[in-house]
Amino acid sequence: MYKVFVNDVPIILSTQKKVGTKYTSFPIKHVDIEKLIQDIVNKKIYYVNLYHKKEEKLLKHLKKKLKLITAAGGMVFNPKKEILFIYRKGRWDLPKGKVDKGESLEDAAIREVWEETGVENLEIKRFIDTTYHILKRNGKYKLKETYWYEMFSNYNGELVPETSEGIKKVKWKNFEKSQKALHKSYENIKLLFPSEYLIKHPKDRVS
The whole-number average pLDDT for the span 116-127 is: 98
DSSP-assigned letters across all residues of the chain: -EEEEETTEEEEEES-S-S-TT-EEEETTT--HHHHHHHHHTTS---EEEE-SSHHHHHHHHHHHSEEEEEEEEEEE-TT--EEEEEETTEEE--EEEPPTT--HHHHHHHHHHHHH---S-EEEEEEEEEEEEEEETTEEEEEEEEEEEEE----S-----GGGTEEEEEEE-HHHHHHHHTTS-HHHHTTS-GGGGSPPGGGS--
pLDDT at 13 over 70: yes
Q: Does the pLDDT of residue 77 top 90, yes or no?
A: yes
Residue-level pLDDT at 52: 96
Question: Mind listing the pLDDT tens digit for each residue in 187-198?
Answer: 999 999 999 998
Of the candidates 101, 40, 45, the residue with the CA atom closest to the CA atom of residue 70:
101
**43-55 burial string, b = 16+ CB within 10 Å, else e?**
eeeebbbbbbeee
Whether the pLDDT of residue 201 is over 60: the answer is no
Domains of the chain: 2-65 (no CATH), 71-204 (3.90.79.10)
pTM: 0.91
In which band, very low, low, confident or very high, does the pLDDT at 206 lie, cut at 50, 70 and 90? very low
**Can you give the pLDDT at residue 200?**
62
CA end-to-end span of the chain, whole Å?
35
**What is the pLDDT of the chain when averaged over all its residues?**
94
pLDDT exceeding 90 applies to what percent of the chain?
89
> How large is the average pLDDT for residues 1-15?
94
